[in-house]
Amino acid sequence: MIPWMEAISLVGLLALGWFWYVSFQSRAAAIEAARAACQSENFMLLDDTVALTSLRLQRDDEGRLRLRRVYRFEYSDTGDNRRDGDLALFDDKVLTVRLATQRRSEWYVVRDLNEPK
């Protein structure tokens, strides 16, 4: 029989491994969504990466608690500047992709999966 402390440690390590794997899958989905949004607007995704800016629990449409991740990325519309964009995900499902306009205080939404098509 496994002592209770070792069992708790094993369960904790398995949970940490699962969280790392799911986070890796979400990041890959975020990179693909940012790339697709930039391509659809004829922009260039800079550094070909995203950075996690927010991680929190939020209820989905069915009322279940899920992790909501917000990623930030940079893109260029002319090739010699940097503009900010962000996107939100539930697990690996893209909720929104936003790109900054000329004035950084304004945003426009490229894709919002909460709105009906």
User: What pLDDT does 117 receive?
Assistant: 40
Amino acid identity of 18?
W
pLDDT per residue as tens, the chain (117 positions)? 679 899 999 999 999 999 999 999 999 999 999 999 899 888 999 999 999 999 999 998 889 999 999 999 999 988 888 999 999 998 778 999 998 765 555 555 665 555 444
Q: What is the pTM of this model?
A: 0.79
The closest of 92, 117, 96 to 108, measured between CA atoms, is 96
Per-residue burial over 65-82, b if 16 or more Cβ lie within 10 Å, else e, is eeebbbbebbbebeeeee
Burial of 101 (0-12, 13-18, 19+ CB in 10 A): exposed
User: What pLDDT does 19 receive?
Assistant: 93
